[in-house]
């Protein structure tokens, strides 16, 4: 399964686009659409700049990885909205967070409603509730339930 245009649009809208490196809310160097890994072998650092096409390539690279992870971790059938929501969740928080979550445990037990209700719990960064994360988790939950 692949992320739909609706799923990609959700990820882009919440990640935002920055062609210049910045530190995120917990101090991690970030560039493009929330990309935190090295870019073409170079660690992200102050003053780094990328082009729009590089940001799009990094996003696609991330999506392929997270799509694969979601497909491996989830043992029940998903519709497109559910898949897209889980890829967005993993893109933002990492596959490890998904793999160890109550959300995944409930989902794999067939409790789709219970899994949906876990999204809003993931709204903190550095121990602080962030409004942007609360909005993102609600959007992911709505997409999951669509």
- Give CA–CA dist 2/70, Å, rounded: 10
The active-site residue out of 5, 15, 67, 138 is 15
**Known catalytic residue: 5?**
no
DSSP β-bridge partners for residue 20: 49
E strands, the chain, are: 18-23, 29-32, 124-125, 128-129
DSSP-based three-state secondary structure for 42: strand
19 and 31 Cβ atoms separated by less than 8 Å? yes
Cβ atoms of residues 130 and 123 within 8 Å = yes
Query: Helix, strand, or coil here: 143?
Result: helix
Angle (deg, nearest 10), helices 131-145 and 5-15? 170
Give the catalytic positions in this structure: 15
């Amino acid at each position: 399964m692949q992320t739909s245009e609706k799923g990609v649009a959700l990820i882009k809208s919440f990640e935002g686009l920055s062609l210049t490196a910045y530190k995120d809310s917990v101090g991690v160097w970030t560039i493009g659409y929330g990309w935190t890994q090295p870019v073409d072998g170079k660690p992200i650092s102050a003053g780094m700049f990328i082009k729009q096409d590089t940001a799009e390539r990094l996003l696609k690279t991330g999506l392929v990885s997270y799509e694969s992870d979601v497909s491996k971790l989830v043992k029940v059938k998903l519709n497109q909205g559910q898949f897209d929501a889980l890829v967005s969740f993993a893109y933002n928080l990492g596959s490890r967070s998904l793999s160890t979550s109550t959300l995944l445990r409930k989902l794999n037990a067939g409790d789709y409603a219970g899994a949906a209700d876990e999204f809003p719990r993931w709204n903190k960064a550095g121990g602080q509730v962030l409004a942007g994360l609360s909005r993102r988790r609600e959007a992911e939950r709505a997409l999951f339930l669509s």
